[in-house]
Chain A
Amino acid sequence: MIELINREDHQKLYLQVYEIIKKKIESGEWPIGTQIPTEEKLCRLFDVSRATIRNAIMELVRQGYLKRQQGKGTFISKRVISDGLIMLTSFNELWFKDESIFKLEVLVRTVMMPVDGIHLQLGIPEDKHIIYIKRLFLAEKMPSILIESFIPYHICPLLLEEDLNDSSLFQLFDKKFGIRITKITNEIFIGSLKAEQAIPLSLQVGSEALIVSQKCFSGDSVVLLNRIYKKNDNHVLYFEYERKAL
C-alpha cells in the first residue's frame, strides 16, 4: 500500500515523495539491493509529474538512499552516511548552549538586487530580486552576533510579512512555508569587518571576527544564504556530534 501525498500540505510535492520513499527504505519495506519501480510507475503510484519523481529520486540518490546503475535502473543502497557522525546540536541557523540569554533585534528586512557575487552563492541570475534580512543577537544587552540573510525572492515572497522577532527563519521555512531544509554547509573563517557589520557589533571598521558563511539547501537549490559575524566575547558557538552505533 503506498502512502498518498497531501496536496493541501504546503510542503513541495517532491519532498513529500522523498519522505514517503525514505520511510519505506528505512523501515525495510523496500529492502537494500532491490530495484525501485520505474519513473513511469512511480508517477502513477503518486499521481504526480515525472519532474516531481525525478527531483525526489535525485534527492534520495544524493542522500545515499538510492544508487543509479547505468543501463540497469535505480536500486536501494546501503546508506554509508549513517556510519559517520550525527550532529546532535539543534538543526538551526545558530548553535547556542543556552539560547535564553540572547535577545534578537531585526535591523533590516527589505528587498534588493544581489551584489558582490551573492547571486553566484544563491545560484540565481544577477537581475533577480532577493530578500535581505539583517539581525543582531544581543547577550546581556551587548551585541554579540550579527546575521545577514539572503533569500531568493521567488522562494518565499511572503516572508517579509512574517514577524521575524519571534521565529527563526528555519522555523518559518519549515512550518509556515513548507520549505524543508535538507542540507547545510558552513565555511568558518576569521575575516575583517566592513562598516555595515562592524557598527552594529560596536566594533571598529576592519576589526576581526569569526565569520560563518552558511548555505542552506532544499534539495539541490540554495534557499537561504546566511553570513554570521561572531564578535570575540564570552559567548561561544556550541557543536555536539556523536558517532551513531553501527
Chain B
Amino acid sequence: MSESKVVKDLMVGIFEYPHIPYWFTINQAIRIVKVSFINTKKFPEPLAILVFDEKYNLMGTLTLKDILIGLEPKFLKSTPKAQVPEENESGLSIIWDSLFTKEIKQLAEKQVRDIMVPAKYFVEPNDPITKAAYMMLHHDLILLPVLEGKKKFVGLIRMIEIFDAISNELMKE
C-alpha cells in the first residue's frame, strides 16, 4: 500500500449526497430519494442520505435498506429468539402486501432519526486510508464521515474509492 495515500486524497464532497434534518419523515426521505437519485438517474455508490441536527452536525446516514426496514410491519421483524424456518418467513411476507394501504402509511410518518444508522465512527483528512478501510470493514459501514479537527464535517470516504486504491496497489507489479 502506498504510504502517501491519505483519506483526503480519496474523499468526496458532502454535497454529492442529499441532506435532511432528523425530523423529516420517512415519507419525505422517500420523496428525496426519488428526486435526487431515481428521477435524475444518478446512482452513486452507495445510495445514501445524510441526516443532520439543528446545528448542522452529522447525526447519521440513511440507505434505501434502512428506509425499507423502517416501513416493515412490526410482526415481520425478526427477534433474537425466533427459530422460524426460512420457508415460513417468506410465507409471512405475502401478508405484507395486504398492509400496503394501512400500516405502511402510518410507518412512513415516523421521523428518520428512528431508522437512521447513527454516525459513530469518523476519520480525519490526514488519516491513512488503511484506517478508513479497517473501520469500514470491522464496523460494517458503507460511508465514513471525514471530520477536520474532530468537528468540521468536510467529506465522505466510500468503499468504492477504498477498493479502487487497494486494487490499484495490488495490480502494480
A residues apposed to B, CB below 8 Å:
107-113, 115, 126-127, 129, 132, 134, 153, 160, 196
The residues of B that contact A126 with a CB separation of less than 8 Å are 35
In the complex, which of the residues B39, B40, B53 contacts A110, with contact meaning CB atoms closer than 8 Å?
Answer: B53
B19 touches A113 (CB 8 A): yes
B52 touches A107 (CB 8 A): no
Q: How big is chain B's contact interface, by range?
A: 10 to 19
B52 touches A111 (CB 8 A): yes
CB closest chain-A residue, reference B56: A110
A196 touches B23 (CB 8 A): yes
Given A127-B35, A129-B15, A112 contacting B55 (CB threshold 8 A): no
The residues of A that contact B18 with a CB separation of less than 8 Å are 113, 127, 129
- In the complex, A116 Cα to B28 Cα: how many Å? 9
The residues of B that contact A111 with a CB separation of less than 8 Å are 19, 52, 56
Known: A107-B54, A113-B19, A160-B56. 9 other contacts (CB 8 A): A108-B21, A111-B52, A113-B36, A127-B39, A127-B40, A129-B15, A132-B21, A134-B54, A196-B23
The residues of A that contact B56 with a CB separation of less than 8 Å are 109-111, 160
- In the complex, A21 Cα to B21 Cα: how many Å? 44
In the complex, which of the residues B15, B23, B28, B54 contacts A109, with contact meaning CB atoms closer than 8 Å?
Answer: B54
CB distance from B86 to the nearest CB of A (A): 39
In the complex, which of the residues A107, A112, A196 contacts B19, with contact meaning CB atoms closer than 8 Å?
Answer: A112
CB closest chain-A residue, reference B57: A110
Chosen A-B contacts, 5 in total, with CB atoms closer than 8 Å, are A107-B54, A110-B19, A110-B54, A129-B18, A153-B15
B24 touches A115 (CB 8 A): yes
In the complex, which of the residues B23, B32, B40, B53 contacts A113, with contact meaning CB atoms closer than 8 Å?
Answer: B32
- In the complex, A100 Cα to B74 Cα: how many Å? 53
Q: Is B31 positioned at the interface, with any CB of A under 8 Å from its CB? A: yes
- B7-22 contacts to A, CB under 8 A, are 15, 18-21
A113 touches B20 (CB 8 A): yes
The residues of B that contact A134 with a CB separation of less than 8 Å are 54
A-B pairs with the 6 shortest C-beta distances?
Answer: A110-B56, A108-B54, A127-B36, A126-B35, A111-B19, A113-B18
